[in-house]
Structure 1
Amino acid sequence: MTILPLYAVAHHAEQVTDWIWQAFGDGLPREFFASIVTHSQQPDALPITFVAVEGEQLLGTVGLWRCDLITRQDLYPWLAALYVDESARGRGLAGKLQEYVMAYAARAGYSELHLWSACRDFYERYGWHDIGDALEYPNKTVHLYRYSLTGSAGLTTE
């Protein structure tokens, strides 16, 4: 299994678009997600989409975005659109995709990442810290998480 930027295997863009639209669309048009995917394929720029592949088989995707929650534009950047194909679940791929984005963001000089989720208890397993609730448009309560990318994250100081 290899994790690559989507621009390196751009022929997977349509499948990535379908995945995130079906998983996160909630009434939004497919074109909305196609625009996100199209504009997330520039080297060294945000947003950026990554994919996990095994040979030519697409296993999962994740993004590093400027903003993933319009009501919290003060937070930056975001781990977003994490999706693992049903056939690849149960192999730890969600954790590997997160770790890849965390390492990429740290190398890019970011000190923390954010994400939102409608569910609880999944991201805490990977070291994310719940920082409260927020509102996803138009009226959905979601849970906010922060992950520190600094070397001193989680250390006790006096």
Structure 2
Amino acid sequence: MSAEILIRPLGRPGDLGWVVLAHGETYAAEFGWDSSFEALVARIVADYAAGHDPAREAAWIAELDGERVGCVFCVAADEQTAQLRILLVDPAARGRRLGGRLVDECLAFARRAGYARIRLWTNHPLVAARGIYLSRGFRLVQEEPHHSFGADLTGQVYERELAPAGG
């Protein structure tokens, strides 16, 4: 029996809280990051919930057999630039190409919304995510060491141009 996978728009009761909880727990377990990372995710989620423009911003939840196991947000950085934010796939659901599907959903939305480019900020330990980004045409445009979330990290900004929808 195969598992049922669904990528759906964020919006059900509990979705917002799950995004914050899942990030906090996963990044603490996998990388030892402290609660300041969970607080950052909470601010991103709260800003989105407080007033996003549905024509320019969207978010998705991945479900496996009816359980939330992943997410991604697409928000406006400026008029021409979308920002991919808080991509996550639960460790128990990895290996099913959910991360790639979530990124593809974000890219398709950003094209439809008329953005010229999309960017994201990540950190060097996130190797699997970086592989997804590179396979989707993102290129590294900036790197900077920083100490955040209780760890010494190298922040990375990736960008890619977007062809118009249907083009």
Give the TM-score taking structure 2 as reference length.
0.70
| Residue of structure 1 in register with 2:162 after alignment | 149
**Structure 2 counterpart of 1:13, one-letter code:** L
Pairing 1:85–2:90 present: yes
Q: How does 1:104-143 map to 2 (within 5 A)?
A: 104-119=109-124, 121-122=130-131, 123-134=133-144, 140-143=153-156
User: What are the ranges of 5 or more consecutive residues in structure 1 without an aligned counterpart?
Assistant: 68-72, 152-158
Q: For each residue in 1:106-151, what CA deviation from the matched residue of structure 2 results, as whole angstroms up to 9, or x when unmatched?
A: 1110111001222265221222111132466768531211122115
**Residue correspondences, number:** 145
**Structure 2 counterpart of 1:150, one-letter code:** A
User: What are the ranges of 5 or more consecutive residues in structure 2 without an aligned counterpart?
Assistant: none
Match of residue 21, structure 2, among 18, 30, 54: 18
**Structure 1 counterpart of 2:154, one-letter code:** T
- Pair 149,92 (structure 1): closer, same or farther in 2 beyond 3 Å: same
Root mean square deviation of aligned Cα: 3.1
Match of residue 75, structure 2, among 65, 69, 88: 65
- Pair 74,145 (structure 1): closer, same or farther in 2 beyond 3 Å: farther
**Structure 1 counterpart of 2:108, one-letter code:** A
Q: Is the 8 A contact 1:39 1:47 kept in 2?
A: no
Match of residue 8, structure 2, among 4, 9, 18: 4
Cα distance between partner residues in 1 of 2:55 and 2:21: 23
Q: Is the 8 A contact 2:56 2:110 kept in 1?
A: no
Q: For each residue in 1:25-53, what CA deviation from the matched residue of structure 2 results, as whole angstroms up to 9, or x when unmatched?
A: 64417455334323424561665431111
| Residue of structure 1 in register with 2:48 after alignment | 40
**Structure 2 counterpart of 1:125, one-letter code:** S
Give the TM-score taking structure 1 as reference length.
0.73
